[in-house]
Structure 1
Amino acid sequence: MDVVLLLIMAAAGLSTVSSHAQRQYHFVSEAKTMSEAQRYCREKHTDLATVDSMEVVELLNNTAGQFKQSAWIGLYDDRDTWRWSMSDPSFYGPGETEFRRWYPGQPYNKHNIPCTLFYPDRTWHDGDCNKRLKVLCFDVTGQSATFVLIESKMTWTEAQSYCREHHTDLASVRNETENQQIVELLPAGYYYWMGLYRDSWKWSDGSNSSFKYWADNEPKLSALKVCVAAAFDNFGKWEDLDCGVEKPFICYGPVVPVSMKVIKVSVEKPNGVDLNDPAFLDAMLVEAKKNLRAQGLDDNVQLAWRKQPDGKVFHKEEEKKRDEL
């Protein structure tokens, strides 16, 4: 009788590979805070996991295996991150994307007020994007901007869409001169949406993926410092938690090369034993692994039987073709 034994060299631990991103994900069961988990992942692998598609969601569910709680991924809330709706970098000179004219004590940087409105006193306040206010658009020609007041009241998102459709965008304010131009346009007592907003969700590795997979009623945004975990008792959907909570976590790194070696083995059939019985095959693999370990082979080696086209492992030698596989 003979059989082919397949040896696969692979990384230890629970891991899966993303085909489209060429990343390998590693589940670490040791509970750590978000910052501790981030430091571990950066030292041992590349970073905490970025989840940018449903393929990765499914991979992480597989990586977690029987673990049915939640584990940190790389998403967190950075509340002090403000950017302009008009994102073209060529429009801004040195330092102009950072120009601010906040009212003293502003911005509050609360979770529920991530949009900016222009007060008639020439200062800026952060506010609830769902409020309906008048709108400040602008038209851009080269490096010049012409500000336009829209008297209809809209939410910030509606205002952004309107300005992009009928003008260039919601207004950016690059310097004190432009700020004063707007002050001179505004009628007394009215507030206007402008283009500054806070998109505070960030990935640990700096990825700009906008993919989201929140569970129902998430994010709650109740903690002072908010980080995100994938809940594996809820299909890997996301929940927000205080970053100081200790949780298992998932790292990612480059795909570890896998080497293979095929060994042809011949055995004598013991009396009364079915060589293709699954229990017998499993027992032989256990013994083979012990023998290989005793010879100094790495514990990360995985063994598997290579089946013939008919689904069986063993065949009589005389029934097999003589050419080597």
Structure 2
Amino acid sequence: MLVVLLLLMAAPGLCVLRRYHFIFDLKTFTEAQSYCREKYTDLATIESMEDVEILNSMAETAGVSAPWLGLYDDDDLMWRWSLSDTSFYTHGKEEFRQWGAGEPSNGGSGEHCTVIDGYGQWLDTSCTDNIQAVCSDVRGLDVTFVLTDDSMTWTEAQSYCREHHTDLASVRDMTENQKVQELVPAGGYVWIGLFRDSWKWSDGSSSSFRYWIAGQPNSDNQDCAAADFTSSGGWWDGNCEQKYPFICYSQVTSKLVIRLRLQRKSSSLDLNDPAVMEAMLKQLQQKLKDQGLNDDVRLSFRKQSDGKVFHKEKKKTGSRKDEL
């Protein structure tokens, strides 16, 4: 038997690994962005209601009501899934699409959300339509689909699915498309999680989480997002040239050390050989990806005081009580 210490480094996406900083200086969005990138990591990215609750708690102490966040509108409309874990719906391959003929059409320049019909075809439509939705329950790479009882807008459906399930349905292949199609009411449509949104995070995050106040965003000339902590931390769009306080974040790195016991099948195999260790790390990394973890996870072996990673395990010897 052999003993090895393995270092697992976790990055954002596995858990909340951001530390937020409220800055009281009044700056435009661009000035705030430059400041955060110089002093910390970037303007704040918000990925979940847990993040919102953290900021609400901090704002109550800080007394800040309307700071800039790291979200801005660059007018570049791209289709993406509500579920922000890209490793789930791509899994090393091109994203699946099943658009109907002539779709997406973006009629009236206002069709930014996706429905699936009873034929399994996708159509873009207004996100304010009230229809039923298909939610998903995700466990690793396995998924089950659930039809909602009530009709709602796409945003309402997204909030409902995230509260009661994992998210709105992401469809990865024809098999899953057929499963969702079977849930479509006769002659009707249902929401799925594909949408297009020109709002992006300053740090390049792919997070699709949004927490807009009702009716927001509401102006073509207000391209930067701020939080309103008098309204539960909801977001509104503002003029990027206005000067407000802002929220930065700094990256927090977490590390987990795991002790493993391995058994050699061949006595001639040198587990401390760099090539052998590299091959083992690649296999372990692939197993983590197969289980749904993203590429932000990094694995490495930790060397011990003698410069080696692996050591033969010492056999435990029994102890004998002293006789009185």
Q: Which has the larger radius of gyration?
A: 1
Q: Does TM, scored on the shorter chain, surpass 0.5?
A: no
Q: Give TM-score, length-normalised by structure 2.
A: 0.44
Q: Give TM-score, length-normalised by structure 1.
A: 0.44
